[in-house]
Amino acid sequence: MSSASPGRLLALIRSGDQWTRQQLLEETGMSRPTLLARLAPLITGGLVYETGPLASPRGRPAQLIRFDDRSLRTLAIDVGHTRAQVSVTDIYGRALRTRQTLVDMYEADAGDLLPPLLGIGADLLDAGDPHERLVGVGIGLPAPIDPRTGAPGRKWIMPTWQKYPIKERIQERWAVPVVLENDARALALGESGMHEARTVLGVKWSSGLGAGLVVDGRLLDGEDGSAGDIGHIRVVPSGPEPQCRCGLYGCVAAYASGHALLEQLNLHSLGEIVQRNQAGDTAVDQALTAAGEHVGAVLASLISMLNPGVLILSGIIGRIPHVVDAVSRQVRATALSHSTAGLRIVSGGLGEQAASAGLARLVAEHVLDPAVVDAAIVASR
């Protein structure tokens, strides 16, 4: 393995639990002076530390070297259609402190909504140990995120966010990298870490409908960031009603999204749907079954094409057992049997922390990338 730079050496150290200098020398082929030169900035930068001596039957005990993950923190801001969650996590995406607040992404101006969320983030960071170190901020938004520009798209969902300097406003408060991602894709990435499958399809089903595909641990974003936008796949060929929020007719979101279900049932919150389902409300059960059949038909087509090992249903609607069962029945009745023979269809295991875990993972992948680590070391000299 070539580990010529500090960044690449860090990647090697992170691949194992702990190393001795001798093991690193053997693995990399470096000379001892070169290894010490590469380790020095990693130790100084708080990315690597010595844990203590390894017991040895004879001779001098070897010092163990580990990735220093003890104080590294990310700030994950998961913004949905009606609710936002701000979390401080460790570098692995495990939430340490979390707060939720209500939002209205269809009406709120970006300049009015983002600053209070950053204020919550600041409060959560201040509540931690003074030795904690923020390494990056991840923000999930209910819109396509262009991978080339990092900016949100689709004006009809977030009309004031298109040209708003999101990254710049965040970096005015914290001088760290900022990563933007679609909220459903972030959720899929977070949930994928719970499963040993090469291909994972995750669905966020709350006020809206979205999905993410993770292959070999990598999230698919598509050409312009629209990958996973399943809510606007047509399930009914013609209108006239109901009309989707996108302005078209026949979209699955117009029939099965949380927003559509609230209109159908004349209810006021998604939590009320969950409560009535748990109480055995027949009207709610019938609406969820119909919604599950619509979404299941869409997912069956995707499964026939993508052949995932796991389909994860998450979000406040997606995690309802009645919904998981309805989707599962429809998928297995519609998709080709060889596409579903090994398929597991499960409810999301991370609950409301799924997107935060995915955002933290994206931040970690960026800030610990060997090239980024090397550039940071050069800039600090």
* pTM, 2 dp: 0.92
334, two tokens:
């519609």
Quote the pLDDT of residue 72: 97
Give the model confidence (pLDDT) of 186-200 as tens digits: 999 999 999 989 999
Quote the pLDDT of residue 184: 95
| 216, pLDDT greater than 50 | yes
176, two tokens:
């760290």
Give the model confidence (pLDDT) of 330-358 as tens digits: 999 998 888 888 999 999 999 999 999 99
Buried b (16+ CB within 10 A) or exposed e, 51-72: eeeeeeeeeeeeebbbbbeebb
Strand (E) or helix (H) holding 72: strand 72-79
The CB-side HSE value for 250 (13 A sphere, CA atoms) comes to: 8
Give the model confidence (pLDDT) of 60-71 as tens digits: 667 899 999 999
Length in residues, the chain: 381
Rounded to whole angstroms, the Cα distance separating 147 from 318 reads 27
Q: What percent of the chain is helix, strand and coil (3-state, nearest 5)?
A: 45, 20, 35
| 289, pLDDT greater than 50 | yes
Q: DSSP letter for 228, please.
A: T
Quote the pLDDT of residue 55: 56
Residue among 188, 146, 189 at smallest CA distance from 167: 146
- Mean pLDDT throughout 52-75? 79
- Mean pLDDT throughout 307-320? 96
Contact between 299 and 203 (Cβ < 8 Å) = yes
- Mean pLDDT throughout 314-320? 96
Which residues partner with 214 through β-bridges?
A: 200, 219
> Does the N-terminal peptide bond of residue 308 adopt cis geometry, omega within 30 degrees of 0?
no
- DSSP strands (E only) in 80-219: 83-90, 95-102, 133-141, 178-182, 199-205, 209-215, 218-219
> Does the N-terminal peptide bond of residue 242 adopt cis geometry, omega within 30 degrees of 0?
yes
Farthest-apart Cα atoms in the chain, separation: 83
Quote the pLDDT of residue 1: 43
Residue in this structure with the two tokens 């590294």, named with its chain if needed: 72
Greater confidence (72 vs 228) lies with: 72
Quote the pLDDT of residue 204: 96
Q: How would residue 38 be classed by pLDDT, with cut points 50, 70 and 90? A: very high
Give the model confidence (pLDDT) of 139-165 as tens digits: 999 988 888 877 787 656 677 787 889
- Rg value, the chain, Cα: 23
* 40 three-class SS: helix
Give the model confidence (pLDDT) of 78-100 as tens digits: 999 889 999 999 999 999 999 99
- 46: burial class by Cβ within 10 Å (0-12, 13-18, 19+)? middle
Give the model confidence (pLDDT) of 218-252 as tens digits: 999 888 888 888 988 888 776 667 878 777 788 89
Quote the pLDDT of residue 108: 78
